[in-house]
Chains A and B, each alone.
Chain A
Amino acid sequence: MAMNGRRGYRSGLVNLEVGEISREIFVNEDIYAEEQERIFARAWLHVGHESQIPKPGDYFVSSMGEESVILCRDRAGRIHVFLNSCRHRGMKVCRYDEGSTTVFTCPYHGWSYGTDGRLVGVPYFREAYHSRLDKEKWGLVEVAQLCNYKGSIWATWDAAAPTLSEYLGDFTRFLDLQLDGWDGREGQAEVLGGIQKWLVPCNWKFPAENFSGDTYHNISHRSVDLAGIGPSGAGRRDMGERDASRKLHVCIPDRGHQTILYVLPAGRLPPPAYMNAPIVAEYFRHCEEERRRRRGDESRLIGAPGEIFPNTALLSRQPRTMAAWHPRGPHQTECWRWFFVDRDAPNEVKQFLRDYYIRYSGPAGMTEQDDMENWNYAHAASRGTIARRHPYNYDQGRGTAVADYEYQGLRVPGEVIDLTEVQSSEQPMRNFYRRWAEFMEADDWSQLATWRSGERKAAE
């Protein structure tokens, strides 16, 4: 089904008015190819964290969409993100995962680049090139924009994209929940060594929409809840806030970012957690008090799964992790996971969290295994001719979001559905795919930055 020159994702394949989305967008090769141009070449993507490259010369090889990139710190201490490909004939200039270097040299013909990306070494420059090659023009391809937000490194290839701050908009505070300290100090997170990387045979949008806030899929995780790996000995995580809080879906409509969120009543601290480790429980309790002291009413917000468009997943609590869903063809995703702790947390706390993260997350963790089984076979069952004729249903809670949500004096931005009684909605998915369709249709960022002209996306 050729998509060339055909627009109308919103009128056809992504029909939010009735809550139906075509399976084609998950399995179609042409749509996938368009996504690489229209989404991954234009959006802000998460690349890594500054704690992975603490010293000049340090590097970490990452991925932006399909493409290998090098995240590095140059001699002057500045952070860069480069396309991992020699300008001469394309060979990867770095096939190590991480390390420290003064140059990136291509093993094919020997072109050599400094950690600032400049082309510094060209064999036989005088003899074969007659000193005529303009080295300034042939440095490593660098991203158009890079932003270090509280230690997390983001990049985009599109010079016309808004700043990261504008790109995030009202979602910024949810990224803050991820990166700020448990005690409310700004930007205290560091990444634990060891980035998990694994392949799943499904389209990248399966995990992306799951982390957008799938509140409906607890049955996937029933077995791990029964096994009881939670840090207080039951379930898969401490859910004490559930009994006390309002549970929300929060969607930032113009941006395509969304999250589950818990909001405590005014004056309430989060219930106890981490009861299997008294040292951690006490540390957590102390941090929550500090957080309330520093942040006041804001401390009533408790993070939960969320997604920054297009493919960065957040979870600020239990386990504390960010993921990137790298497209590897329409039928495969390479998942990368970073795990966070507060950098000055006591060792016992870091150890306990590490142990918990390992048994919870990733392909060897007891929770995500079941998600991936579902994504795998959902995708597989959607590839056939007949299957593709039948759209997925995204009808849940349609038309029930409000734009002015407030709970006991705390305003929550965006379009919100209060799930406390209704249990679940699919508003985050609708928000995600609305933005997806916009990216697929828009010619450039002037059409995507709809908030600048004062347009507000109405809740359906």
Chain B
Amino acid sequence: MSAPINVRDLVPGTSVVLADGAVAEIVSNPGDGMWLFARYLTSPSDPTLVGQEEMIFAPDVVALGRSAAV
């Protein structure tokens, strides 16, 4: 199990890697440290999610991808 990531202050545009291998890009961050609004970029386990904006639960984020350029 990977080390937990505090999602509270991640900026929109940051990519996050999820527990099922999907990668999503943060659209907005409610700042509660528990949820992110992110758009799926890849989703091997459920391809129908690609392009969809979903709420991502923090424990599902296992790694950070590329951050948005400042």
Contact = CB atoms under 8 A, between A and B. Distances in A.
B34 A112 contact: yes
A107 B34 contact: yes
Nearest to A107: B34
B34 A101 contact: no
Interface stretch (B9-17, B25-33, B61-69): B25-33
Contact of B32 (A103, A123, A124): A103
A120 interface: yes
Interface in B24-60: 28, 30-32, 34-35, 55, 57-59
Contacts of A121: 34-35, 55, 57
How many B residues touch the partner, as a band?
10 to 19
B30 A102 contact: yes
Nearest to B37: A102
Interface in A77-121: 101-103, 105, 107, 110, 112, 120-121
Q: Which of B55, B58, B59 has the most CB of A within 10 A?
A: B55
A95 to B, nearest CB: 12
Contacts of A105: 30, 32, 34-35
A70 to B, nearest CB: 14
A104 to B, nearest CB: 8
A411 to B, nearest CB: 55
Contacts of B35: 103, 105, 110, 112, 121
A110 B34 contact: yes
B55 A124 contact: no
B31 A101 contact: yes
Interface residues of A, number: 11
A116 to B, nearest CB: 14
Contact of B57 (A101, A102, A110): A110
B28 A102 contact: yes
Nearest to A104: B32
A105 B58 CA distance: 12
Nearest to B59: A123
Nearest to B36: A121
A306 B26 CA distance: 52
Nearest to A102: B30
A275 B65 CA distance: 66
A206 B30 CA distance: 43
A419 B35 CA distance: 62
Given A103-B30, A105-B35, A120 B57 contact: no
Contacts of B31: 101-102
Interface string A430-452: 00000000000000000000000
A121 B28 CA distance: 14
A278 B28 CA distance: 52
Contacts of A120: 55
Nearest to A110: B34
A353 B57 CA distance: 48
A107 B34 CA distance: 8
Contacts of B55: 112, 120-121
A102 B34 CA distance: 13
Contacts of B59: 123
Nearest to B46: A126
Interface of B: 28, 30-32, 34-35, 55, 57-59
14 contacts: A101-B31, A103-B35, A105-B35, A110-B57, A112-B32, A112-B34, A120-B55, A121-B34, A121-B35, A121-B55, A121-B57, A123-B57, A123-B59, A124-B57
Closest 8 CB pairs of A and B: A105-B32, A103-B30, A123-B57, A121-B55, A102-B30, A110-B34, A105-B34, A121-B35
